Amino acid sequence: MKILHYVLALLLLLPSLAMADFFWVAVLAKESGMTKQTMVPKVKLYQLRPDIKKAWKEGYVITDLSHSPRRWTAVLSKGTGVSKQFYVHRRVMSEFQDVVEHYHRKGYDLINVENGVGEWLAVFEHGGDVQGTELVVVRSEAQLKKEIKKQQEQGSSLVDVEVAEGYWTAVFAKKTACKEQSYAFAEDKKALEESIRKHWKEGYNIQSLEFGNNQWFALFCKHDTFRKETYVISEKNSLLQKQVQEYWKKGYHIIDLAEGRQ
């Protein structure tokens, strides 16, 4: 009986242990062009739709969409210049690639790819800074590096990276607000923060952060002028939201939301 109690107690503790080294990070900047912003967190993906549809009617658009354990979060912003936006999702990668190609042929640009609970989600738009997009799907870090090099040689910039289910998805674009790019892999939070400090000294801003395959991928961008930028890290999502709200009061807006492990 004691062994049974021990096993049951351990099973109850497993979710907490799994989350013990988990944290959220929000990258915030001034001079981003965004004028107003809000966040919508929901447990299920379908629960986001009513709030997003309401926000679209009020002039907001999705500027980031992220998934973390038991939470989907949409970042909605004004001041982007986007004229039309929508999102689609599929469970099977081949079907996801097909639907992305379908909307590319219709002239829409892909700005964000996110994976959560077996769903691949794509955000499309018209009229934003990102134009002439292409989705590339590879199976390894080495293939990703090779593809980034090839695309940059062809004049394209990396827009977004997502790592899940054994896939590396990369969105490239012919036109972005980025003048020069750099990227780095980091094995833990300490290495990630060191990389951020190094790139800030070199005049880069953070474009996006992604955790997958037990490592961090950080994408950096040089704009015409360096934007005043910061980031906040918290092991509690509720605390992160409070920190973000304080920065909103100071004129900062979310550039990217990410989540990962120490």
Going residue by residue through the chain, which has 262 residues, state the pLDDT in tens, using 9 for 90 and above. 555 444 344 344 444 444 458 899 999 999 999 999 999 999 999 999 999 999 999 999 999 999 998 899 999 999 999 999 999 999 999 999 999 999 999 999 999 999 999 999 999 999 999 999 999 999 999 999 999 999 999 999 999 999 999 999 999 999 999 999 999 999 999 999 999 999 999 999 999 999 999 999 999 999 999 999 999 999 999 999 999 999 999 999 999 999 998 7
- Residue 3: the pLDDT is 53
Contact 48, 76 (CB under 8 A): no
CA-CA distances (angstroms) from residue 47 to 32, 43, 234, 236?
A: 28, 7, 24, 21
Tokens of 17: 């242990």
Contact 68, 50 (CB under 8 A): no
Among 159, 200, 152, 199, residue whose Cα is nearest residue 176: 159
- Residue 256: the pLDDT is 98
The length of the chain is 262
Indicate the pTM of the whole model. Answer: 0.91
**DSSP E strand boundaries for the chain:** 22-29, 36-42, 61-68, 71-78, 84-90, 109-116, 119-126, 131-138, 157-164, 167-175, 180-186, 205-212, 215-222, 229-234, 253-261
- Residue 262: the pLDDT is 75
- Residue 18: the pLDDT is 44
Written as one string, the DSSP assignment of 71-105 is: EEEEEEEESS---EEEEEEESSHHHHHHHHHHHHH
Tokens of 178: 């980025």
